[in-house]
Each structure stands twice: as structure tokens, then as C-alpha cells.
Amino acid sequence: METTTPAEEPELVRVERERISAIDAAIEAARALLPADRLAAVRSEAIASGWTSDATRRALFDALIAHAPRPILPARPETGLAHDDPAMIRDAMAEAIAARAMPGYQPKGAGRHVEFMGASITEMARDLLLARGERVDRRAPAHKLLERSMLTVSDLPAVLAGAGRRILSQLLAADSPARALCRPRQVRDFRQIETITFSGPGGLAQMLEGGEVTIAPPAERREVGRVRTFARQLHISREALVNDDLGAFTEPLRLFASAVAETEASEFLALFATNGSGWGPNLADGQPLFHASHGNVVTGTIGTAGIGEARRVMRLQQLPGGGLARVTPRHLLTGPAEETAAEQALSQIAVATAEDDRPVFANRLVLHVEPRLAGPQWFLFADPNEAAIAEFVLLEATGGVPQLESFNLGPNRLGIALRCVHDFAIVPASYVGAVRASGTP
């Protein structure tokens, strides 16, 4: 058996380290092309077998060929969909379902969705099978086509999930006080996060000749929270699938969108529904979000005088370290009981402050109505990008969009399951940037 001398051993270690480093470089270059478990297997075999980097690359290429998706087979001429990628067909079908479910939806892409606008669910299932080169008997009953499209290739569940994501995005794009009045933020995981609000030194100090610049460390406030997961699942029966009832798909999608909006609103209203009559959660200083010591509470009803007083108070808000916050009132939030009064008040402001027939305050305030907000109280907010009292925190992986998944119920149950998963949190950030009005004289 060969042995190494102490002088030779460091050189062998260096060579081996360089070989493994070259292998890791090849593995890293293929990370986007192969699954992680296959990469780990190639790396382990390369190190154990003494492969060079070139041998490792050849093994990675062989693995890539072995894991490549099955080539797309051209469909039969009678389908009219020859040489089409099933993924493109799924997208076009999802666009068509979204357009049929929501009259105001604007389909994207090259207009391929038009040919599916009048198609039934069974016809979509048949086209999906043909596009994959599957042999389809046109006399086959509807439930057989649906079962093959769901169980064999899972194309139909993918179409429904794609349509659902489009419908959810469209419905959530409507006015949402929770999203409009919170500063958006994305995080990587579910670990506890901190919302940090900094305030400057308040002002610059005069520097005397030969003197030193005085140090004024910025004050900061920290509030904590974490992203949580909210989810719900609905089932679509085999009977609804066979009946080709498009409402069996679109109605659950609308319900999911409504559920997402309801969940976000409930979390947002928690900022106002705690500590008695809606003073908000306690912040790091031990005081509620809305408190006299924070300079963000007033009395008064919605009207020219009441809104004027709330604007004045917001303009005078102080940073934790001292000095004016310099925030501009931008949003008005109220419940349904005060909606009409709020609209009248904003119109009165525009008319009462007219100068040479030009309303100088027109479009200065944006009205938001939250149906779940009860009582006479109302709130004035700054632009959340300028001064936010809360952050709307989402996971980076989801892009801030609720995730809709569709899958089969299993071999012993017939139908499709739709599952909506939403990862988010609304975390208090600061008391600067909002004013609470009592709604009473």
C-alpha cells in the first residue's frame, strides 16, 4: 500500500480541493436545468469516483437528456391545433375562461383565446388530449374525456388553476383599503420581522469656529410581526364537470377572491378594532396606535371643519426623535355609515375653496370605504410610501399573489379540488402618517 510523506500530503490535499471546486462549479452551472436531488447524486458520484470536471459535465449532460420533457407531438389535422405546445393551449384556455367569467377582463397574448371562448369544458379536455398526441374517440362519453385529462396528464386542473389566478388578480386589483393604505414589503420566509421607523436629528446644530460636529444618533422605533398562512379548499364534483357547467368553476373562483379580500380586510381592521373603541394595537412604547401622546387623534364629524382639523393635526405630527414629520394628507377612510357624508364633505371642500372657479383642493383626498368598519369614526392617512402606519408583508416566492392550486381528489373520489393559499401579514409600523377622528362633535 502506498503512503504519502508529510511533505507530499499538502500538495495532494490542494489538488483534491481544486478538483472538488471544479466539480462544484460544473454543478452550479447546471442548477437551473436539473432538479436538486439529481444534482446532488451526480456530485456525490463525481467526488467518490475521482471524476474530473470534464467528466462531471458529460454526466450532467447525460442527466439533462434523460430528464428532458417528452417532445410535443403534432396533433391530428382535424383538430386544427397542429404543432401547438400544450402549455400555450392551456394559457389560451385559461384566458378564455377568465374572459367569460369576468366581462371586464382583458385577455393577454396573441388572441389565441378567441377559439376557446365558446368551448365547453369537455371540448377543452378533448383538445388538450389531442394536442399531446393522445388518441381520442370522438364518441367517447364526456366523463371519460374529463377523467383522462385530469388523471392522465393533469392538463385540465392546470387550466382551471391558471384561470383562477387571472380572476383573483383581476378582482384584487379593485379598490382595497388594506393594500392602498399599507406600505408593501416582501420577505423571504416566515421568520419574525421588524418594521423599523427612523427619525432624523430634528435639525442641524450651528457649528462654532474650531468646534466639533455634534453627534445626534437617529431615533428609531421597532414593531414586530411575521407572515402567516391562510388557506381554504373547495371541491368541484364529477357531476358538475360532466354537465359542462362553467359556473361550477367560475363561482368558486369568485368566492376565493371574496375570501381573500375578506381575510385581508379583517387583518387590516385589527389595526383599529382593538383597545376598546378602535384605538389600535399597543406599539413598542406601550401606547395604542392612536393616542393623544402620539398626536394623531381628533374629535369631529366628517365635514369641511372636521377634515380641516384632521389635516392640521397631521401636518403638525412629530417624529419620535423630534421635528416635524412633514407628511401630506392623502387618503380618507370611512365605513358605510359615513360614506355619503364623506362624499359630500369632499365636494364641499372642492367648492368652498374654489378660486376663480377652480377648485384648489380637487382630487387632494382619495376616499376609501371599508364596509366592515362600523361606527362613526373615520381616519385620515398620508401616502403609505411617505409615512405608513402599517406594512403589508408578503412572501417573495409568491409575488404577493394568492396561490390557487387545482388537483385531483384521488383514485377513490371523483372530481377536482381547488385550494387557495395566501401568505401575508399586516404589521404596525408607526403612529406617524394617520389621524383618527371620533366622528362626534
Q: Which fold has domain 176-202+217-441?
A: phage-related protein like fold (3.90.1690)
- Mean per-residue pLDDT of the chain: 77
Q: What is the pLDDT of residue 107?
A: 77
Portion of the chain with pLDDT greater than 70, in percent: 74
The predicted pLDDT at position 81 comes to: 42
- More confident: 202 or 134: 134
pLDDT per position as a tens digit, 61-88: 777 766 655 444 444 444 444 446 777 8
In angstroms, the Cα distances linking 407 to 61, 139, 157, 263 are 33, 26, 6, 24
pLDDT digits over 107-153, tens only?
776 566 777 877 777 778 788 887 777 777 766 766 677 667 665 55
Instruction: Answer yes or no: pTM beyond 0.75.
Output: no
Burial letters 86-124, b for 16+ CB under 10 A, else e: beebbbbbbbbbbbbbbeebebeeeebbeebeebebbeb
* DSSP, residue by residue, 54-103: HHHHHHHHHHHHHHSPPPPPPPPGGGS-TT--HHHHHHHHHHHHHHHH-T
Q: Is 404 exposed, middle or buried (0-12, 13-18, 19+ CB in 10 A)?
A: buried
Q: What is the pLDDT of residue 75?
A: 44
Tens of pLDDT along 204-220? Answer: 777 777 777 776 655 55
pLDDT at position 147, please? Answer: 67
> What integer pLDDT is reported at residue 198 of this predicted model?
55
In tens, the pLDDT along 318-336 reads 877 677 888 899 999 999 9
| Pairwise pLDDT comparison (107 vs 345), residue with the higher score | 345
Identity of the highest mean pLDDT range in 212-226, 244-258, 371-385: 371-385
Q: Which of 107-111, 127-131, 175-179, 402-406 has the lowest mean pLDDT?
A: 107-111
Q: Which three cell numbers stand for residue 387?
A: 409615512
pLDDT at 19: 83
Least confident of 238-242, 352-356, 382-386, 417-421: 352-356
Whether 437 and 299 have beta carbons less than 8 Å apart is answered as: yes
Has residue 241 got a pLDDT over 60? yes
Region label for 405, one of left (φ > 0), alpha (ψ between -120 and 50) or beta (otherwise): beta
List the single range of 191-195, 201-205, 251-255, 312-316 with lowest mean pLDDT. Answer: 201-205
Weakest mean pLDDT among 43-47, 102-106, 290-294: 102-106
The lowest-confidence range among 48-52, 340-344, 364-368 is 48-52
Which range, of 104-108, 168-172, 188-192, 243-247, averages the lowest pLDDT? 243-247
Q: What is the three-class DSSP state of 391? A: strand
Average pLDDT over residues 423-432: 90
Mean pLDDT, range 399-422, rounded to an integer:
76
Longest dimension (CA), the chain: 103
Q: What is the pLDDT of residue 5?
A: 52
Which amino acid makes up residue 346? L
Q: Is the pLDDT of residue 35 over 70?
A: yes
